[in-house]
């Protein structure tokens, strides 16, 4: 009845009401991106609202079952619908916006399953859960149609998660943002801890706003929306919205049960920062993780829990009082006032430039004669990891002015895969990170040629710390850090920290699962 009343009201009103221009958009429930119960109607709706707002257009959202959302928009009874992928049939009835979101499908699995995959052939031994009516890409579809893989269809994502937890299926395909949101809302903490996801994407898929071609102002609205969307992207607002998704800021508020007396001491770190801290099949690993654990053990604090998660969420955990400490932030006390106390530097992270020297020689650059950074490499082709801003102001000024050729990829692994065969010339990252990925790729693919990849420039150094919440009293924080700092210093002098670094590089292995 609620839906019917809303429909009658919004169909009767004009797109311009009391001088305010409006567009009516239908969608279904797809938390955390679309939901009538979520803040801003979900992250996807929020992006669309903000893009139209920049063009002076107000959005009215109407939530229906998915099929009805599509049909009412197709018939022109509603102006638009979101979020949908492109196909030829929809192109008959709709104008497609520029991509609103790009999401990836991954495999979820139980942590006790030692799972890794690279090709469809690796999936033959598993029963794979999919959800009725969803499309997971051509390679999965073709493999399922030819019975190359064993697929079991579930009516909903929640049903498939229940099957996964009970081991009735071994793998389940879903977007990680959607998957973890469903787990947080519908499953106990103990069930959530059973599952993880594999880091490799099955496919990346783009999602669009569809404006009905029966709407008289469809082309105008599309142009104005795309213009607003481009502004959001250039201003970094969409990146901020996606960070808020990770931190659960769009979710409806749920009651929490807490007890200060039983509250554990939690220290959080980055789950996506190999080789320093990362999850491998759900297990916290990495150089900083090992150092921190060993130091806690030395001071008799093995009760401290270490939890790894995406960095923005980890910072939010401390800021919101849900964690007592974090590692390994750089020292920005003014920028992060919620971090009140810092340890001594745990280790130095050295920003460096590694290049394929054969490639440099081909373009007339003698790596033995390089002196000035970045001027002496201005003709090299750089491959950069998304989100890594090392290199200095002069380098980035050259990149932004198109004076330096730079290609951005997802993560150091993909960067080195382009460096090794000589497709691109140079990569900037932390020295240990590059050394670790080179060794990890060589350990996994012995035939890969990495011998010509060498360090060319050292740019700068930054230290990583253990930081404690500003909520601690000065007395308690000082007492804790005095003990911790003493052990860190001893571990440096005894060569323990360098041994941990060397061992991690020597035994480097790409993580099996991560998020």
Give percent of the chain with pLDDT exceeding 90.
59
Please tell me the predicted confidence (pLDDT) of residue 374: 94
Work out the average pLDDT over 387-416. Answer: 90
What 8-state DSSP symbol labels residue 200? S
3-state secondary structure of 7: helix
3-state secondary structure of 406: strand
For 333-356, the pLDDT digits (tens) are 888 999 999 999 999 999 999 999
Sheet with strand 272-273: strands edge to edge: 272-273, 277-280, 283-285
For 175-233, the pLDDT digits (tens) are 998 998 888 888 888 899 899 999 889 988 899 999 999 999 999 999 999 999 999 99
Please tell me the predicted confidence (pLDDT) of residue 386: 81
- Of the two residues 88 and 185, the one the predictor is more confident about is 88
3-state secondary structure of 450: coil
Secondary structure percentages of the chain, helix, strand, coil, to 5? 40, 25, 35
Please tell me the predicted confidence (pLDDT) of residue 120: 93
Whole-number Å distance between alpha carbons of 47 and 9: 25
- Of the two residues 258 and 300, the one the predictor is more confident about is 300
Helix H or strand E segment including 419: helix 411-419
Q: Is pLDDT of 430 > 70?
A: yes
Sign (positive/negative) of CA torsion 388, 390, 394, 399? negative
For 58-77, the pLDDT digits (tens) are 998 888 888 889 999 999 98
What 8-state DSSP symbol labels residue 40? G
Work out the average pLDDT over 91-107. Answer: 94
Q: How many helices (H) and strands (E) does the chain have?
A: 18, 24
Rounded to two decimals, the pTM is 0.55
- Of the two residues 248 and 201, the one the predictor is more confident about is 201
Whole-number Å distance between alpha carbons of 414 and 430: 15
Domains of the chain listed by start with CATH number? 2-99+207-246 (3.40.190.10), 102-204 (3.40.190.10), 266-346+465-506 (3.40.190.10), 349-461 (3.40.190.10)
Please tell me the predicted confidence (pLDDT) of residue 512: 61
Give the list of residues 6+ apart from residue 424 with CB closer than 8 angstroms, or none: 356, 359, 381, 382, 383, 407, 418
For 13-61, the pLDDT digits (tens) are 444 444 468 899 999 988 899 998 888 899 999 999 999 999 999 998 8
Dihedral angle, C-alpha 269, 384, 497, 470, nearest 10 °: -30
Tell me the residue length of the chain.
515
C-alpha closest to that of 292 among 321, 272, 266, 310? 266
For 212-224, the pLDDT digits (tens) are 999 999 999 999 9
Whole-number Å distance between alpha carbons of 218 and 225: 10
């Amino acid at each position: 009845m609620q839906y019917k009343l809303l429909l009658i009201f919004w169909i009767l009103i004009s797109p311009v009401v009391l001088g305010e221009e409006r567009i009516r958009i239908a969608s279904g429930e797809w938390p955390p991106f679309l939901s009538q119960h979520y803040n801003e109607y979900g992250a996807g709706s929020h992006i669309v609202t903000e893009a139209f707002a920049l063009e002076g257009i107000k959005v009215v959202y109407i939530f229906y079952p998915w099929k009805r959302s599509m049909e009412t928009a197709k018939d022109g009874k509603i102006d638009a619908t979101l979020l949908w992928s492109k196909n030829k049939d929809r192109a008959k009835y709709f104008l497609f916006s520029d991509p609103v979101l790009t999401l990836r499908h991954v495999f979820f699995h139980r942590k006790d399953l030692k799972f890794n995959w690279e090709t469809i052939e690796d999936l033959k031994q598993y029963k794979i859960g999919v959800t009725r009516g969803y499309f997971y890409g051509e390679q999965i579809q073709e493999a399922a149609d030819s019975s190359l893989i064993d697929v079991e269809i579930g009516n909903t994502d929640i049903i498939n998660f229940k099957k996964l937890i009970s081991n009735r299926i071994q793998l389940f395909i879903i977007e990680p943002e959607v998957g973890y949101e469903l787990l947080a809302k519908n499953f106990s903490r103990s069930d959530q801890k059973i599952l993880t996801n594999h880091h490799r994407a099955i496919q990346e898929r783009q999602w669009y706003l569809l404006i009905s071609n029966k709407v008289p102002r469809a082309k105008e609205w599309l142009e104005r929306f795309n213009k607003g969307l481009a502004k959001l992207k250039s201003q970094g607002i969409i990146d901020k919205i996606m960070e808020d998704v990770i931190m659960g800021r769009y979710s409806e508020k749920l009651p929490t049960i807490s007890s200060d007396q039983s509250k554990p001491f939690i220290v959080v770190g980055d789950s996506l920062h190999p080789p320093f801290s990362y999850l491998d099949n759900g297990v916290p690993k990495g150089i900083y993780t090992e150092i921190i654990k060993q130091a806690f053990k030395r001071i008799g604090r093995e009760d401290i829990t270490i939890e790894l998660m995406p960095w923005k969420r980890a910072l939010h955990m401390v800021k919101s009082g849900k964690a007592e400490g974090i590692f390994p932030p750089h020292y920005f006390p003014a920028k992060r006032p919620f971090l009140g106390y810092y340890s001594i530097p745990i280790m130095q992270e050295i920003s460096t430039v590694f290049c394929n020297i054969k490639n440099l020689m081909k373009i007339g650059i003698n790596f033995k004669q390089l002196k000035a950074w970045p001027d002496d490499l201005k003709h090299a082709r750089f491959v950069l990891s998304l989100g890594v801003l090392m290199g200095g102001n002069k380098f980035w000024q050259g990149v932004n002015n198109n004076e330096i050729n730079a290609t951005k990829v997802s993560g150091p692994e993909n960067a080195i895969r382009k460096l090794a065969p000589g497709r691109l010339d140079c990569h900037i990252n932390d020295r240990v990170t590059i050394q670790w990925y080179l060794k990890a790729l060589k350990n996994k693919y012995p035939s890969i040629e990495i011998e010509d990849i060498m360090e060319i420039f050292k740019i700068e150094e930054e230290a990583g710390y253990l930081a404690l919440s500003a909520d601690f009293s000065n007395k308690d924080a000082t007492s804790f850090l005095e003990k911790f700092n003493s052990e860190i210093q001893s571990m440096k002098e005894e060569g323990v920290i360098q041994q941990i670094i060397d061992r991690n590089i020597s035994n480097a292995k790409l993580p099996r699962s991560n998020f």
